[in-house]
Amino acid sequence: MTAFPSRLQALFNETKTVCFSHFTVDIPSSATLVYGPASIEAPIQYYPGEASKIEQHVANQLVAIEKDRMFFTENDFGKFPKFGKVISGPAEGHRLAFGSKDQVGYNIYSFFPVGGDLFVQSLNGVLHEDAAIRALTSVATHLRLRADDEIPSEAGSCIDGAFIPIPLKYEKVTLGVRLREFPDVHFSIQVHKNQNRIPEFSDLETRLKGAERDGGSWYSRVKFFRRGSRQIGDWKGSEALALKPAQEDQKEAHEFHFISLGAPNDPLQPQLDIQLDTGANERQMGAVKPSLTDEEAVALWDKLTGSIRLRPIGGKVPSKTPLTSAVATGGICPESGWWQCDDDGVIEADRRKRVVAGETMPHATKLGEQGLWQKLKGNRPTYQAATVWKLAEYDEAPVPPGSDHA
């Protein structure tokens, strides 16, 4: 395998594991976490240290609600008796405020303190008031605080500053990673639980083909390091690792992307969207010259994405494919590790290969029959042949696709 770039090796000398939703990822100890938008039944915002300011937050929301009063008739208010009202929920300090913007359903705002912190949720256009209140109340009564370095061992979902240990119908978590040593590098992960169906036409290849069609001469200058299918954990999806040429006010920069559409109604296999950009600042992509070389950018991507995994529950890790499991050439590798074939005629150096989960199982190199001229020259022909591979040893260190696994 290609040696890990020296500048990145120093970066990963010390790492920390962080959790998001039902999963974890390993990042450099010096990295900063930046949590983005999150939903647990409803969008949720986190205000550290502001539990004592809950009444101020409620009052500010009521001011915003009152601005919509002018759009209501007296008849509308008859349908919305709680408009502009605040009621207490069952959790200590819990407040529920009611408004509406569409004269069709309530907007319900939930404010609840946990320890010294405050969380705020909102649901818009609510048609089933009682069900919405039950969902918001369930979150308010179950959510508990969580430090960034805490990895819960129970079932549930990690969000910024908190953990929610109950099954959720709807959940979305976004996590960003910023590297102190390479501030122009932005890495982000978003997981979004599907409902009863997988969204159509949102896979990466469909997007890329649209860009090829509409991108003109600029797109023809995009340099791809890798493009195609990949599997990360249980997620089967597509990735594209590209160097984008400069355009208008943006400099040349890397943009790497992986998308898996996941499975329907499965919190452990939600939609997964991962992206890495170089040359970025807080306001714009391609704002500065990338601090990473092409080789370093690909290695960093593989290092980070290769560490994403399901968070162990109760000390149990996700089950592995049993040793000696067999997969034929052309099949999909179910487990990263060392795979071995024992067919007659296979050259010794090719009997054992390192294969990554999600890749296609390879052919084996076999020795062919020597012709007269080859015998005289002392050469032995070889050819590629299908075989059956058996899992001989687990690969504890994730192996990036596209590496030399042999």
What does the pLDDT read at residue 234?
83
The reply to whether 218 and 269 lie within a common domain is yes
Domain count, the chain: 3
Q: What is the pLDDT of residue 377?
A: 57
Indicate if 150 and 172 belong to the same structural domain. Answer: no
Distances 42 to 65, 122, 227 between C-alpha atoms, Å:
18, 6, 35
pLDDT along the chain (406 residues), means of 10: 81 94 95 95 97 97 92 77 92 94 90 97 92 94 94 94 93 96 96 84 70 65 89 89 86 93 89 94 81 95 94 69 76 80 81 80 77 59 82 61 41
| Cα-based distances in Å from 98 to 124, 131, 170 | 10, 15, 22
Q: Indicate the residue among 136, 159, 182 that finishes a domain.
A: 159
Of 19, 15, 12, 23, whose CA–CA distance to 233 is shortest?
A: 23
Q: Do 272 and 214 have their domain in common?
A: yes
Write out the two tokens for 225: 């390091």
Q: Are 155 and 52 members of one domain?
A: yes
What separation in angstroms does the CA of 233 have from each of 42, 249, 305?
27, 38, 10
Q: 130 and 90, same structural domain?
A: yes
Supply the pLDDT for residue 404.
42
The pLDDT tens digits of the residues spanning 212-236 come to: 666 666 667 889 999 898 988 888 8
Domain that holds residue 355: 326-394
- pLDDT, residue 398, reads 40
pLDDT in tens, 269-322: 899 999 999 998 877 777 789 999 999 999 999 999 999 999 988 766 555 677
In a domain, 400, yes or no: no
- For residues 172 and 301, state if they share a domain: yes
- Quick check: is 380 in a domain? yes
pLDDT of residue 401: 42
Residues 172 and 34 occupy one common structural domain: yes
Q: Answer yes or no: do 92 and 221 share one domain.
A: no
Q: Is residue 147 part of a domain?
A: yes
In a domain, 68, yes or no: yes
300 lies in the same domain as 202: yes
Task: Mark whether 127 and 69 lie in a shared domain.
Answer: yes
- pLDDT given for residue 1 in this prediction: 42
Domain membership of residue 187 (yes or no) is: yes
Residue type, 101: K
Q: Which domain CATH number covers 247?
A: 3.40.1000.10
Co-location of 23 and 68 in the same domain: no
pLDDT at site 372: 59
Would residue 148 count as lying in a domain? yes
| Model pLDDT, residue 313 | 87
Residue 110 and residue 226 share a domain:
no
Give the pLDDT of residue 402. Answer: 43
**What pLDDT, on the 0 to 100 scale, is given for residue 49?**
97
